[in-house]
Each structure stands twice: as structure tokens, then as C-alpha cells.
Chains A and B, each alone.
Chain A
Amino acid sequence: VAPVTMNAFELISKSRGLNLGSLFEK
């Protein structure tokens, strides 16, 4: 993926800090 064409918010949304699914992993 060419970074310049990336949407910055799209990039940010991949943060592990925003992946609350981890809270549910036993």
C-alpha cells in the first residue's frame, strides 16, 4: 500500500490501543 494514498484516520484506527476485542480474550 502506498502510504501517501492512506487515509490517516484509517491508519490510526488500526491501533492496538483501539482494539477493545482484547478485553474479551480469556
Chain B
Amino acid sequence: MGCYLSTNSKKVRKTQGYEEPTVLASETPFTVSEVEALYELYMKLSNSIIEDGLIHKEEFQLALFRNENEKNLFADRIFDLFDVKRNGVIEFGEFVRSLGVFHPNAPLEDKIAFAFRLYDLRQTGYIEREELKEMVLALLHESDLVLSDDMIESIVDKTFKDADTKDDGRIDQDEWKAFVSQHPSLIKNMTLPYLKDITLVFPSFIARTEVEDSE
């Protein structure tokens, strides 16, 4: 099926960062046709504001929030982790490889590690108390929830007490793994059921190409 992409390549403007679906399928939980379906999604997202076939942060925000100007700490972190080359855009290969972690069949340890990197805001290799508090405050702000400072401190303290078993004021990767194994719901958002049905959601890559050919 992947042959369609290369044999019909006259129909596909290959953008910067484009990688062959067969290569991406071999390195991720996706099949070739699922990668092709993701290309449909990618092209839609990457041309929503700036038509250059690359996902800019505003386009990512627009897709997530229906608002290109909505700032959000967590969306920023996701964007930064997807932007592996750190060039300010998410390229197609980066998009597929990163979304692969969210596939229902991706290894659990990959999901746990990704969530750790997500929450390690300053990339020190640890989740620190200040970072956790910053994330709680961001979530409250985003949700228009108001809690007293004491309440916020209590939530952060309690969580830290439970997760920081070495009691050194920071959560390392081993502590994080142990904490997630006790609270599996923490990484529920690291699985996107949609990805199992991506060819149903975006079924039209091959079909559309053929339709265009016949027009």
C-alpha cells in the first residue's frame, strides 16, 4: 500500500521533514496505511495557518483549542517534545514518531518516560517541587479553578510525599515509574484510542489520490 505514496508522488508535495511511510511504520506501532492516514491529518494541521507543510505552534494551538492564540503550559511542553530538532516546527517524521508513543500498542515504558519528560519542565532529569506547583497553578488557571494557597501547597506536599520516596526533594525516573505503577490513571492521557482507528478517521489518502487522478 505504501507504494501508492511513492508511485503517485506527483500528487504529493513532499515537505521538509517528510519521511517514507514504510520507514516510519518500521519504527513505530503504526502500519504503512496508518502512517499514510496520519499524513492526511498532518497536511491538514500544517497548512491551517501558514501553508508551508510544517506544524507551527500557532497551528498546534489552533488544532487543540480552536484558538491559535491560546497559551497553555502543557501544550507548549507537548509541542517542544514533538519538535525533536528544536527548530520551532513539528516535521512529519517528528509528528508520527511522537504520536507513536500515544498509540494503544506502544510500550508502557515509553508512555511513562514521555510523561516524565513532559513534567520535567526544566529538563533537569528530575521533577522538582517547584515544577509540580507551577503545573498545578497552570492547570487551575486553565480551568478557572480557585484554590487557596494553603490548599495548593497541601496538594503538592501530599503528592510529593507519596512520589518522592527517597525524600530528596525531587522525583527521579525510578520514583516516577513506581508512582505510575501505583496510579496507572496518571498516564491515561498518554494513550489515544483514535490512533487505532486513524485510517477510519482519515481514510482518504489513497482514495483521494485516486479520485484526483481520475478527475
* Given A7-B162, A20-B102, A24-B41, A13:B189 Cβ within 8 A: yes
Residue of A6, A17, A22 with most partner-chain B CB within 10 A: A17
B136 A10 Cβ-Cβ under 8 A:
no
Q: How far is the CB of B77 from chain A (nearest CB, A)?
A: 8
Q: How far is the CB of B73 from chain A (nearest CB, A)?
A: 7
Q: Looking at the complex, which of B1-9, B18-26, B151-159 is the stretch in contact with chain A? A: B151-159
B155 contact from A3, A21, A24, A26, Cβ within 8 A: A3
Interface size range on B against A: 35 or more
A-B contact count (CB 8 A): 97
Q: Mark B43-83, 1 if CB is under 8 A from A, else 0.
A: 00100000000000000000111000000111111100000
A4 B155 Cβ-Cβ under 8 A:
yes
* Given A4-B151, A17-B73, A19-B189, A12:B135 Cβ within 8 A: yes
B186 contact from A13, A20, A21, Cβ within 8 A: A13
B108: interface (CB < 8 Å) = no
Interface of A is mostly: helix
* Given A22-B64, A24-B201, A10:B78 Cβ within 8 A: no
* Given A4-B155, A8-B136, A23:B119 Cβ within 8 A: no
Q: Give the chain A neighbours of B192 by CB distance below 8 A.
A: 20-21, 24
B139: interface (CB < 8 Å) = yes
| Cα(A12)–Cα(B183), bound, Å | 14
Q: Give the chain B neighbours of A4 by CB distance below 8 A.
A: 151, 154-155, 158
Instruction: List the 6 shortest-distance A-B pairs measured between CB atoms, nearest first.
Output: A17-B74, A17-B75, A17-B72, A8-B159, A15-B74, A24-B194
